[in-house]
Amino acid sequence: MRIIGIDPGTIVTGYGIVDRKRSAVSFVACGCIVNRPHVPLPVRFLKIHRELGEVLDAYRPAEMAVEGIFFCRNVKTALALGEARGIAMLAAAERGLGVFEYAPRRVKQAILGRGGADKAQVQFMVKAILGLPEAPRPADAADALALALCHAYTGAGCAARAPDPALGGRAEARPARGRVKG
């Protein structure tokens, strides 16, 4: 099953794509859709929708894992992020993808075994789990790959489990559930 993770943002929207076959998860692609900060929001949303649609059409994932709502002190920022999430979900719904939400803490817990990790730790573990030569950059792409991995390991109907480096790469179950939307 091909899974795309989305780290939504109005300036940078990261995406990461993995394939899950039985208990193995492999890297497919990652990248970012980048907007200029002073471009009006509707124009940024249009760019996100169009470019994400192109990615979805090119890679044809079956499911999307998107970052869920989290606490944000700035209401304006929270609203814009919510709108960017909506654009990603719309692009997925137009193509019939299953959409699953994961809280940032849940993603970190699935990837690192604890929810309080920083971005550098997430990048390191994504690199290690996927066997990449270097950590995915920018952090938005790494976060999107972490979302895809989280869904591959813990999502509804997904049998693969995160390899635990402390166990020599053997799988260790870390159960969690995404909420199905749609």
Q: Which tokens in the block code for residue 182?
A: 């749609």
In degrees and rounded to multiples of 5, residue 93 shows phi and psi of -65, -35
Query: What three-state secondary structure class fits 158?
Result: coil
- Active-site residue flag, 143: no
Active-site option among 7, 51, 101, 143: 7
Query: Is 51 a residue of the active site?
Result: no
**Catalytic, out of 51, 63, 67, 101:** 67
48-82 b/e (C-beta count within 10 Å ≥ 16 → b) = bbebbbebbeeeebebbbbbbeeeeeeeeeeebbe
SS3 of the chain: helix, strand, coil, percent, to 5 = 45, 25, 35
Active site residue 67: yes
Considering 51, 101, 140, 143, which one is annotated as catalytic?
A: 140
- Rounded distance between C-alpha atoms, residue 86 and residue 74, angstroms: 19
DSSP 178: P
Residues annotated catalytic, as ranges: 7, 67, 140
